[in-house]
Chain A
């Protein structure tokens, strides 16, 4: 009895502790320094769950508390990846940045950072001032990815898309990637697909203007 009770107790404890772990799994990942949150990738989800969730899954049949829980867990586990699979990972800039943040095209950033670099040449004569590494890398990246020499010409071509519900972040992404076809644009910016009917024609015109501008540089 005591053994049974002991086993049951230890299983319940294990189950309880695992359940505790399981319940706290999302919280404990937040407390960890290394936290990767994945969306829209089943392989990575299964990869993650196999480490932390594997123990729970094997222990479930043993625990008494988990018979109903198993069913719940299986049902829950079965539903959530399927529902997340349908929506590809979308860009949600506006929700994460303060409202006063303004998206910049890579060509605009190049223009501004080059101007600052000229000033920094003067400042760098002072030995106490160090030019940060992130500035050099940021400038190099902006130069390599900007397709257009004249940022002032690019913004008017894409800004009118805001009238069709396209957000600033989406416009920036289109300008930085400079897709050649609207299929490419919809593939790279999945959130545009919801507005496809509205946006398809103006986007096609904008992309053809951009490609002319790109060729004329």
Chain B
């Protein structure tokens, strides 16, 4: 049974983006200790994790900066914001004295959520779409639907709330 896209998209339900994860390559080796000690908003605990965790307030995001020069930026609510935040982090690193560049900015993952406003019978869904869905009430109350095209994973709950996540 192939899932069909409805002909009219005017259901009025629009998913809200909750989180975007992106990566960028700063293309230079970084001294994490120096960054951690000279930046106000950075934490670095080498015993626990080998990266500096930096946060900025606007857009409200968190970045993991590794000594190889690669950086992961999470928490933005739109693609433009994610890019802007990544650039801000790169600027901070630049100001701390490293020749940081901005190569290969790529959005890795986006998470969105929405509410369809009606209850969903998950057992029925798992019966009809069994090759895509996985529903284990013992483990997780939601149904995990892995859509093939577009490549998205949806967490569908009985109350009608749906969480969508996907990576390119």
A and B: partners?
A: no
Interface residues of B (CB under 8 A from A): none
Please report A residues at the B interface, Cβ cutoff 8 Å: none
